[in-house]
Amino acid sequence: MRKIIIPLMVAVLAAPAWATVAITVTDLGDGQAAIEYSGTELARAFALDITVDAGTIEAISDYAVGDDNSGYGIFPANFSRYVTVDPVTGEVMDWAAQGYTPVADAGDPGALGGLGTDGITIEMGSLYDTKAPAMEGRLCVITCSEACKVTVTTNATRGNVVLEDSSEATVDLSGATEVPIGSTGGGYTGPHPDEWQAVGQPECWIASINPRQCRGDADGTAQGKQKFWVSTNDLDILIASWNKTFEQISEQKVGDVPLICADFDHLPQGKSKFRVSTNDLDILIANWQLADQPAPDCP
């Protein structure tokens, strides 16, 4: 038995460890999702299927284009279709050719339907002299037509995920499986998406959930027989959050209503960056105890 175990242990210890590349999906708000990667070893190329369980994938953006740019700007599925190489110098004449994107054509073997459908296949690789991609970063951003769950899988027909030494990576997709995009009701559609992201994507700011929040209705409910949408309950929430920063009110509530819901203008105010202050009070006063008002017209 000992003669068998010792050679087996030597073989196991000498075997190369599988390199892992993790793919993750991050909700950016406004129907957009970032497709990102991180690895224990550097990847050379990605072939991925991205699908949604509702609606369609309308656009792809925020991806590198070309070579030697610290990114994955080589798109094998579309290189021969759109990129012209100088026959004398071997240099690419124009990386900005229209149509040169990571999305494989629906007619390519193993490729999904493409933009405007519920699934796309992307192919992205690196080519560089000195500017290698980072060990982690963003591959691209997709835009979804409606609230959905995004799932990323590897595409074996197109090559899966390949490492620098041409071996196939072990891919962790746990952070890229059925990831909700666009919150309940489709996500924030107001004029300050960056602020919505900065304060934890509160659902009360989403117009399809509380269409009067931007008019002073913090709790999303009407009070009394006359249906005052902006009244004492909303004032209580505003008072509790008055002249405080987001850090001071984060995770705090009045009843079950987060204090950030009293930030009616969706902007910080003053040098201290108070989330709820005089501008929000002005909005509440303008709509105070009006019968069945204001209209549900937040953007």
What confidence score (pLDDT) does residue 40 get?
92
pLDDT in tens, 83-132: 888 788 878 877 888 889 999 999 999 999 999 999 999 999 999 999 99
> How many other CB atoms sit within 10 Å of the CB of residue 119?
17
Q: Domains of the chain: which residue ranges?
A: 18-181, 193-286
Query: Tell me: the pLDDT tens digits for 155-182?
Result: 999 999 999 999 999 999 999 998 888 7
Q: What's the pTM value of the predicted model, to 2 decimals?
A: 0.59
pLDDT score at 183: 55
CATH class assigned to 18-181? mainly beta
Q: Are 271 and 277 in contact (CB under 8 A)?
A: no
Q: How far apart are the first and last CA of the chain?
A: 74
Instruction: Tell me the three state secondary structure of residue 243.
Output: coil
pLDDT for residue 133: 96
